[in-house]
Structure 1
Amino acid sequence: MINFDGKCFSSSKAVPEESLSCLTFLPIHTHHLIAFGGKVSLLESHYFSIMASLRRFRVEIPMHFTLDFFQEQTDLLNNFNKSTPDIQQLSLKFYRKKPPTQEEAVSPICFLMQGNESTWENKTLDLTLYKDHYVFASAYSNLFQTNASLRQLGEVFAYENGFGAALLLNDHKRLVESTHGAVFLIQPDGIQTPALSEGTANTVIRNAFIEFLKKESEIQQFETEIAVFSIQQAEEVFLISSAYGFLHIGQFRKKKFGKEKSVSLRLQFLDYLKNQF
């Protein structure tokens, strides 16, 4: 089931042919949301993140893209599905309706929304390192869409070699993120995560977890530069994204990690998200 530009269809094949032309272009922005019982968590943060990204991609933003619009579109999709999962992962992709031209540089857009049931279950993966290509440590890399293809390449590499996810490095050979979300390392002095200046995708869920640590946890957090060897010095490692949830890491190279602290953090953060409406 999909919501294509405000109308719901059983699949993309049911979308009128004249409307499908925009889907031949690559999406200019992909955004992932989490809904609990049909209500989008962190809606305001998601809204401002979407608007900021669309402005940077120089497109014509419809006036009806208001704060409540994306909640209304979620309701529309769930009503069409005749079901509302307890935890739902929503994928929202924005496309240009036509390519930019010299006469009309700023083009109108359409969107495609899809929803899948999510569990945020206690899942553990083993990690590998993807080194074929690097993320540039720049503000452009903070946009989620910028390195989408690189993450996909890293994901395929991990799966082909029997791993659950892969770590990505920036052009300074430092840790930047993973194929499955932001990376957090539990060290003796606190929790570390790569800083935005390292090229990390500036996602709402990453920022929400950092804010959660500041408000709800006594654990100190650091956004910093992280060398690859620091990963093996960590007590625990976990990944967070709206698309994949909260993933515990069991092993990286020869180092095996515990997950006692991160299991507790996962449950606390899940409760925190359920109250962010």
Structure 2
Amino acid sequence: MINFNGSFLEKSTTFFNAENRAFKYGDALFETIKVFNSRVVFLEDHYFRLMASMRMLRMEIPMSFTLDFFESEILKTVRENKLTNARVRIIVYRGNGGLYTPINNSVQYLVEASMLQVEKKASYTVDLFKDYYCYSGLLSTIKTTNKLTNILASIYASENNLNNCILLNERKFVAEAINGNIFIVVDNKIKTPPITEGCVKGIVRKKLIDILSKNPNYNLEETPISPFELQKANEVFITNTIIGIQSVTKYKKSNYKTEVADELKEELEVLI
């Protein structure tokens, strides 16, 4: 069952029409959220990121869109699907009508929940995706439904037996992975691209930065990363809301360790 503006419908229900702006223009935002033991993980972070993104896109935020409402709609959808652990996706999109210029800035929302499946792979190979680039502007930092670069990179990964691809920005610096933020470990330094490089403002990225800022064993640097630096790294790992931390084991001729990532996974689990 899906939650469409507070009403539950079968997933097979047709409820979009030709005026839908998410379909016509990608005029929509989404959040992917983990629910664990019937609790929304990092609830406030997801809520405030969505509200900030709606403001950036000049969407009208209804007075009813409170933190409590956000949590309630997620958990109602999870319960309706008879789940306690779930992968939830909430989409907010501008109301129907208009060409590039909307008729109004009111919004509708859709919440869907599926069984939570977290598969962390022991062997994980990545490569660069160089056919198209991310734009290192503010719009790249929010989760819009315009994800053509990620889709094409996913197809490339599938065709080349890769687990993931690293996306570059227009200056050919590392931006992120297809489905998450990227970190590299060089001795006691842990580096991740700053938001200005075009990466999404990841929730787990934010949590790891908080963890590392208090850890005296590592020096965190938010700094541009060139593809050449990937080959010199001791470790590379990818973060996202669902999987947490996924270690990369191979990139081109480089084989990586996983010790630092394993240590950080334990600290992250405490927060979850």
Flag whether TM exceeds 0.5 (same fold).
yes
What SS does the corresponding residue of 1:145 show, helix, strand or coil? coil
The answer as to whether partners of 2:34 and 2:241 remain within 8 angstroms in 1 is yes
Which residue of 79, 94, 97 corresponds with 2:95?
Answer: 97
Indicate conservation of the 8 Å contact 2:183/2:237, yes or no.
Answer: yes
Taking only the aligned residue pairs, the percentage that are identical comes to 28
Deviation at 1:23, TM superposition (A): 5.9
CA RMSD in angstroms comes to 2.5
* Counterpart for residue 218 of structure 2: 219
User: Are residues 112 and 192 of structure 1, via their aligned partners in 2, closer, same or farther at CA, if it must alter by over 3 Å?
Assistant: same
In the alignment, is residue 44 of structure 1 matched against residue 40 of structure 2?
Answer: no
Q: Quick one: distance in 2 between partners of 1:250 and 1:103?
A: 46
- 1:252 has 2:256 as partner: no
Q: How far off its partner does 1:6 sit? A: 1.4
Q: Secondary structure at the match of 2:144?
A: helix
Give CA-to-partner distance per residue, 1:193-217, whole Å, 9 cap, x none. Answer: 0111111111222212211222467
Structure 2 residue runs of 5 or longer lacking an equivalent are: none
1:8-157 to 2 correspondences below 5 Å: 8-11=8-11, 13-14=12-13, 24-25=23-24, 26-85=26-85, 88-100=86-98, 105-123=103-121, 124-145=123-144, 148-157=147-156
Matched letter for residue 231 of structure 1: L
User: 3-state DSSP class of the match of 1:210?
Assistant: helix
Q: How many residues align?
A: 270
CA distance in 2, matches of 1:231, 1:102: 40
Instruction: Please give the alpha-carbon distance, in whole angstroms, between the structure 1 residues aligned to 2:16 and 2:45.
Output: 34
Cα gap change, 1:105/1:140 in structure 2, threshold over 3 Å: closer, same or farther? same
1:196, 1:202 within 8 Å by CA — same for their partners in 2? yes
Name the TM-score, length of structure 1 as normaliser: 0.88
Matched residue SS, 1:68: helix
Is the contact made by 1:198 and 1:225 (CA closer than 8 Å) also made in structure 2?
yes
State which drifts further: 124-133 or 260-269.
260-269
Gaps (5+ residues) in structure 1? none
Q: CA separation in 2, counterparts of 1:242 and 1:20?
A: 32
Residues 92, 18 of structure 1: CA spacing in aligned structure 2 closer, same or farther, 3 A cutoff? same
CA separation in 2, counterparts of 1:18 and 1:59?
20
Q: What's 1:196 paired with?
A: 195
Report the Cα distance in structure 1 between the residues aligned to 2:111 and 2:216, rounded to whole angstroms.
34
User: Partners in 2 of 1:146 and 1:187 — Cα distance?
Assistant: 34
* SS state at 1:209 partner: helix
Q: Return the alpha-carbon distance in structure 2 between the equivalents of residues 184 and 177 of structure 1.
A: 9
Deviations 1:36-57 (A, max 9, x none): 2121122222111111111111
Aligned to 1:161: 160
2:178 corresponding residue in structure 1: 179
Q: Distance in 1 between matches of 2:266 and 2:15?
A: 43
| Aligned-partner Cα distance in 2 for 1:154–1:129 | 9
Task: Compute the displacement of 1:218 (Å).
Answer: 3.6
